[in-house]
Amino acid sequence: MMRRTRLTFLAALGLYVAALLLPRDAPETTATVPLDMTGIDELEVVSDSSVNVRLDAASANWLDYPPGKDHHVTVTREGRRLRIVSDVPGYRPLDISIRPTVGKLVVRDASIVAGPVLEAMVVETTGAIEWRGSVTDLTVVDLNPWYDHAAADPAAVPANGAEAAAAAAADAFAARLDIESGRIQNLSVTTRGSVVTLADPDTLGRITLTLGQRARYSIGSASRIPDITLLPHPADAQAPEAKQP
Amino acid sequence: MFDLSRFLRLARAQWAEYRRTYAWFLGIGIIVHFVLLLVLLSGNRGYTLLTVDGQAAFYFVGLFLTAPLFAARYFQAMARRESAGLLLMRPASKFEKWLLAMAVVAVLYPVAYSLAFYVCNAPAALYAESAAAFDAAMRAKEGAAARADSMAWETYGLFLPWSEFESWRSAVALALVLTSLQAFAVLGSLYFRSFPAVKTVVVAFVLMLFLMLVETIGGGQTALFKGYWTHSRELVAWQQWFFPVAWFAIPALLWLASLFALGEREVA
């Protein structure tokens, strides 16, 4: 009685239990894409995930990413710009290693390590940056769109609730621009609302910080007074009043 | 085995006999929803629960609670000997009866539920949207205190089921889980002759405990199968074909078991 019913139900149950118990994670693998940097001045990475960039004269040019059934990484050339677009999920970083032949990096969140001493580098970001490495001239430009919501004067009464919440969120989500290590003769950082951290100011030469009203900066322990110039961000109309945290 | 005109006659008979029952089922759902919204909106800031995400939570919780209940009641006549005889002697094959059950339970009920959901949800969502706009304007007048008001980031407006899915894969996962629950409820109502609802709930509870034990044994690896449609984790070759097959085979086998149960009740 009801034998076929029971057997079919047990088959469904058995299949479910087997599907739960049998799986084992696939071994971690990475896919490597060689990058042709011939004639390229600028590297742009469009990705939700953070990017580890290594600038190393001794290295080949390549990109490593975690392959997945829904991940796609496309590399295209647009004149002298190499554009990498990735939909790898945010929690899995991309690794890029290139020879230091490019002069400009356009990234969102990136950790950048420069092997030898570079001549000049411009980093354009819309997120957080961590820099390690020696360079003669380093320019970091923060184009985070969040800060467009921020009012020119943080103490000003916002026009409406949504604007106020946007301004509060701009504070809450302030990204970090960290200059961790390396000798840098001329450092220029421009941001409207991020937190600039100069971890080792003794290794920095002339420092120019162009800060918006919501931006902050902090300086690590130093044996001398750093040569630092504070300028107002042109997008913020009022007089500069950058604050230390 | 299948005759279209006979199937349509069966559908018409089913509709004539059970349309009031179905209407009552949806009507009670609408009343419960109405009372729930009334309680929520009577509070000072009760509207904050009716963001698009809040409405989505109400919609899916309601769907997953009522769909198996509706499925379990589809063959409720089988619980009594006299009405079971009438139902089984209807001039239609067991396949046609089963197919009609599947069409009503798995296809028409979610559609009817969605329409019934909007009877109360549409006016409540519009009210919440205007209340949020009014509240934001009032707070803006209060000045800088509004900065901390994170509620201004919440999205208000009318929830649409398909807008909540990140991709078609999430919708497939949800549909397969829902139809598995419905098939299990139909199977229980056909398999158990006396007190089918109580026995189905007891078996479901025991199965839940058993599967929790299995998941404990399996550890974190069970997420590979359960998250097949929504995760993007890398799979080994055999998992790439086994997982989708299993995802579709489990509800298919449960529906097939209910077909066998219906046939075996006829024989008995």
Under the banding of pLDDT at 50, 70 and 90, the label for residue A242 is: very low
CA separation for the pair B253, B246 (Å, rounded): 10
- Do residues A119 and A137 lie in contact, with contact meaning Cβ atoms separated by under 8 Å? yes
CA separation for the pair B73, B93 (Å, rounded): 20
- Locate the DSSP E strands across chain B: none
Under the banding of pLDDT at 50, 70 and 90, the label for residue B194 is: confident
Give pLDDT, residue B46: 82
Residues of A with CB under 8 A from a CB of B: 1-2, 4-5, 8-9, 11-13, 15-26, 29, 66-71, 89, 155, 157-165, 167-169
- B240 interface with A at CB cutoff 8 Å: yes
Please indicate whether, in this complex, the C-beta atoms of B222 and A20 are within 8 angstroms of each other.
yes
pTM recorded for the entire structure: 0.63
Task: Pick B79 or B253 by higher pLDDT.
Answer: B253
Taking only the tens place, the pLDDT of each residue in B32-84 is 999 999 998 888 788 888 888 899 999 999 999 999 999 999 988 887 777 77
Mean pLDDT of the region A45-68: 87
Name the percent of chain A lying above pLDDT 90: 47
| Residue among A24, A89, A160 whose CB faces B232 most closely | A89
Please indicate whether, in this complex, the C-beta atoms of B264 and A5 are within 8 angstroms of each other.
yes
Q: Residue A187 above 60 pLDDT? A: yes
The class that CATH gives domain A28-232 is mainly beta
Under the banding of pLDDT at 50, 70 and 90, the label for residue A26 is: low
Please state which of the ranges A38-42, A53-57, B45-49 shows the lowest mean pLDDT. Answer: B45-49
The pairing of beta strand A62-65 with beta strand A94-98 = antiparallel
The ipTM assigned to this model is 0.85
Question: Residue for token digits 């904050």?
Answer: B48
| Residue among B214, B232, B260 whose CB faces A21 most closely | B214
Taking alpha carbons only, the member of A84, A138, A128 closest to residue A108 is A128
Radius of gyration of chain A (CA): 24
CA separation for the pair A99, A91 (Å, rounded): 26
**CA torsion, ordered A125, A126, A130, A136, to nearest 10 deg:** 20
Under the banding of pLDDT at 50, 70 and 90, the label for residue B148 is: very low
Give pLDDT, residue A151: 47
Under the banding of pLDDT at 50, 70 and 90, the label for residue A152 is: very low
**Which DSSP string do the residues of chain A spell out, in sequence order?**
--HHHHHHHHHHHHHHHHHHHS--PPPP--EEEE---TT--EEEEEESS-EEEEE-TTS--EEEE---TT--EEEEEETTEEEEEE---TTS-EEEEE-TT-SEEEESSEEEEE-S-EEEEEEEESS-EEEES-EEEEEEEE--GGGGSS-SSTTSPPSSHHHHHHHHHHHHT--EEEEEES-EEEEEEEESSPEEEES-GGGEEEEEEEE-TT-EEEE---SS--EEEEEE-TTS-SPP--B--
Task: Pick A26 or B112 by higher pLDDT.
Answer: B112
Count how many domains chain B has.
Answer: 1
Give pLDDT, residue B16: 92
Task: Pick B261 or A167 by higher pLDDT.
Answer: B261
| Residue among B234, B254, B257 whose CB faces A67 most closely | B234
Give pLDDT, residue A199: 92
Mean pLDDT of the region A141-161: 62
Instruction: Please state the domain extents for chain A.
Output: 28-232
Taking alpha carbons only, the member of B94, B256, B204 closest to residue A5 is B256
Partners of residue B239 in chain A, C-beta under 8 Å: 23, 26
- Note down the domain range covering B43: 4-267
- B235 interface with A at CB cutoff 8 Å: yes
Taking alpha carbons only, the member of B27, B9, B8, B31 closest to residue B19 is B27
Radius of gyration of chain B (CA): 23
Q: Residue B184 above 90 pLDDT? A: yes
Please state which of the ranges A154-163, A183-192, A225-234 shows the lowest mean pLDDT. Answer: A154-163
Q: How far is C-alpha B245 from the chain's CA centre? A: 22
Q: B111: which residues sit within 8 A by CB, 6+ positions away?
A: none
- Other CB atoms within a 10 A radius of the CB of residue A46 amount to 14
Taking alpha carbons only, the member of A148, A150, A153, A164 closest to residue B143 is A164
- Other CB atoms within a 10 A radius of the CB of residue B21 amount to 12
Q: A192: which residues sit within 8 A by CB, 6+ positions away?
A: A142, A144, A147, A148, A150, A211, A212, A213, A214, A215, A233, A235, A236
User: Would you report the helix, strand and coil content of chain B in percent, each value rounded to 5?
Assistant: 85, 0, 15
Please state which of the ranges A26-40, A216-230, B27-41 shows the lowest mean pLDDT. Answer: A26-40
- Do residues A8 and B253 lie in contact, with contact meaning Cβ atoms separated by under 8 Å? yes
